[in-house]
Structure 1
Amino acid sequence: MQIQVVKSKIHRVKVTGADLNYIGSITIDEALMEASNLVEGEKVAIVNINNGERLETYVIKGNRNSGEITLNGPAARKVQKGDIIIIIAYGILDFEEAKTFKPALVFPNENDNSLT
């Protein structure tokens, strides 16, 4: 049997922008992507702490150490600049492997989205 488990999580990061006219996705600072083991194009779930919205989209790489977290396209209607969100990616593992798997969990500074 295979099950879905949390693979990666960026916990409580601040939205720095919302671009309705972009084609879609979430732009994430490259350093945050690496720390959380996310890759460009990967499907992620977004949970908005401020308004309870939940959505799915895919990741695009932002500038390293920029702190950028921008929701693009239709997702921009679900957030506002300054909202606090959680970004979650899931993986599919065999049941036994899932028992010992350790996800990449990142807790950035909420003020500037830095890793320090």
Structure 2
Amino acid sequence: MRRTIFKSKIHRATVTHADLHYEGSVTIDEDLMSAAGIWEYEAVHIWNITRGTRLQTYAVKGESGSGIICINGAAAHLNKPGDLVILATFAEMDEAEARAHTPKVVLVDAANRPVARDAVEVPGPARRVTA
């Protein structure tokens, strides 16, 4: 049996742009995509912390080092510049793959620069200690 397993996420990124008139997708800084193991055109879930909205789209590469998180197309109605979001991916795995898998969790600062590339999930209601 195959299972859908959490693969990676960019946690608490700040939306930098929202472009209603683009065809669709989310533009993500190429460095962040690489850190999280997200491929161009891969399905990406966007969970908006600020507004409570959730949607799925696909990733396109943004300029490396730019910190860009641009929500494109109709999704721009649900995500605005300044919103905090989680960008997450999932993968289909068999049991052996799933048991051996460790998700990539990338934490970012307010400018969407990685501050931790292999963070460990902290289950609620606990809180991550930040300096």
TM-score band, normalised by the shorter chain? over 0.9
RMSD: 0.7
- Gapped regions of structure 1 (runs ≥ 5): none
Shift of 1:8: 1.2
Match runs of 1:3-42 below 5 Å: 3-42=3-42
Show the counterpart of 2:114.
115
Amino acid at match of 1:56: Q
Structure-2 separation of matches of 1:54 and 1:7? 17
Structure with bigger gyration radius: 2
Match runs of 1:81-96 below 5 Å: 81-96=81-96
Show the counterpart of 2:45.
45
- Gapped regions of structure 2 (runs ≥ 5): 116-131
Match runs of 1:58-69 below 5 Å: 58-69=58-69
Moved over 3 A (4+): none
Shift of 1:96: 2.7
Structure-2 separation of matches of 1:51 and 1:33? 23
Residue deviations 1:52-110 (CA, integer Å, cap 9, x gap): 1000000000000000000000010011100000001000001232112011110011x
Counterpart of 1:31 in 2: which secondary structure? Answer: helix
Shift of 1:33: 0.3
TM score, norm. by length of structure 2: 0.86
Structure-2 separation of matches of 1:37 and 1:97? 16
Residue deviations 1:15-73 (CA, integer Å, cap 9, x gap): 00000001100000000000000010000111000111000000000000000000000
Show the counterpart of 1:70.
70
TM score, norm. by length of structure 1: 0.96
Query: After the TM superposition, which of the residue ranges 88-97 and 68-77 deviates more from structure 2?
Result: 88-97
Structure-1 separation of matches of 2:101 and 2:111? 30
Structure-1 separation of matches of 2:6 and 2:105? 9
